[in-house]
Amino acid sequence: MFPLQRNRRLRTNESIRSLVRETHLSPNDFMFPMFVAEGKDYQIEIPSMPGIYRRSLDLTVKEVKVLWDLGIKAVNIYVKVDDKLKDNTGKEAWNKNGLMQETIRAIKDAVPGMIVMPDVALDPYSIYGHDGIIEKGQIINDATVDALTLMSLSHAEAGADFVAPSDMMDGRVLAIRKALEENGHHNVGIMSYSAKYASSFYGPFREALDSAPVDVNEVPKDKKTYQMDYANRIEAIKEALHDVEEGADIVMVKPGIAYLDIVREVKNAVNVPVSVYQVSGEYAMVKAAAERGWLDHDKIMIEQLHCIKRAGADIISTYFAKEAAIILNK
């Protein structure tokens, strides 16, 4: 009761504010998403994501070493697949000599301590840009799960620390966990994209991988039959709990800033670490506003990352990871 309690006493100066601060951010909290393409000594900046590049494998490994030196200990890997390798089955996804598999091996050889979490989804490998196999105009769940299981096994055999199914098919975590166990990959974890919403914030990412759904007859025009309705909250908790029951070691909420209520709900419901993906559109908006002088880039970046962690994130997958680590290390 005032004046016995004056809350501003704990805000008097930076020393006391630091002493009582509830949320602390460090490079240990970050994963960095990386886009890999065929070729050598090649990199191209993604126009809608300033500072983010699609790189050849050699330059990807070089960048991973920089990230490690900054204290970033995990990377998400996504590959840009040549069009001639795409089909409706996604079979290139489990080619043991495919770009993803080569990338996993190269990173683990160069920086053994780096945690590598390759993306498990068919959209980069699909001629239709969907996360699943299409039959008669529908995304077929069970056949897709079989393909994702083969893909996950190939990642484990290449040396991945975790596999990261981002497809939102029903039952895929259980199928992947069983296959990993049966093939002796007991220590390979699963980071499941458990609450992945059908969001409009993914546009720049799809540009980076050329993985947007194609507009042809008999093919769904969007991903709303498998990604979640952004109007729903309880469904996210149900999905996360199911994935934990099926063997997920980490569950993810995606996108980030616009879904912090979901992050907190999921964090309260599960007993495993919660990861949050601050997605490409969220990154691009900050970059665009800062470029125009409307926002202070570094202050907004650090504030948003703190807010994601405060909401309950144990791990933050963010395109800001490198820039934020440089600031935090200072």
Q: In the chain, what percentage of residues exceed pLDDT 90?
A: 92
Whose CA is closest to 317, among 115, 123, 74, 52?
74
Please check whether residue 12 lies inside any domain of the structure.
Answer: no
φ and ψ at residue 262, rounded to 5 degrees: -70, -40
Confidence of residue 214 (pLDDT cuts 50, 70, 90): confident
Q: How confident is residue 213, by pLDDT bands cut at 50, 70 and 90?
A: confident
**CATH number, domain at 252?**
3.20.20.70
Query: Which residue is associated with the tokens 């126009």?
Result: 47
d(CA 311, CA 307): 6
Residue 3 in domain: no
Could you tell me the CA-to-CA distances from 257 to 25, 48, 189, 288, 311 in Å, in that order? Answer: 16, 18, 26, 16, 10
Query: 17 in a domain, yes or no?
Result: no
Q: How far apart are CA 149 and CA 159, in angstroms?
A: 16
pLDDT for res 99: 97
What is the DSSP track for 296-317?
-HHHHHHHHHHHHHHHT-SEEE
| pLDDT tens digit sequence for 264-297 | 999 999 999 999 999 999 999 999 999 999 999 9
Q: Is the pLDDT of residue 1 over 90?
A: no
- Domain with 139, as residue range(s), is 24-329
Could you tell me if residue 223 is inside a domain?
yes
Q: What is the pLDDT of residues 222-272, one digit of tens each?
A: 899 999 999 999 999 999 999 999 999 999 999 999 999 999 999 999 999
Is residue 10 situated within a structural domain?
A: no
The CA distance from 30 to 21, in Å, is 20
> For residue 67, what are its two tokens?
């990230």
Question: What positions carry a catalytic annotation?
Answer: 196, 254
Q: Domain for residue 264, yes or no?
A: yes
pLDDT at 220: 85
* Sequence-separated (6 or more) residues with CB below 8 Å from residue 315: 29, 30, 31, 74, 250, 273, 274, 275, 276
- CA 46 → CA 103, 204, 319, distances in Å? 20, 8, 12
Q: Is residue 19 part of a domain?
A: no
Res 209 pLDDT > 70: no
How far, in Å, CA of 118 to CA of 219, rounded? 27
**Structural domain contains residue 9:** no
pLDDT higher than 90, residue 208: no
- pLDDT category of residue 85 using cuts at 50, 70 and 90: very high
Instruction: Flag whether 246 is marked binding.
Output: no
Number of domains in the chain: 1
Confidence (pLDDT) at 205: 79
Averaged over 100-122, what is the pLDDT? 98
The whole-number pLDDT of residue 212 equals 66
* Cβ neighbours of residue 67 closer than 8 Å, sequence gap 6 or more: 32, 75, 114, 321, 322, 325
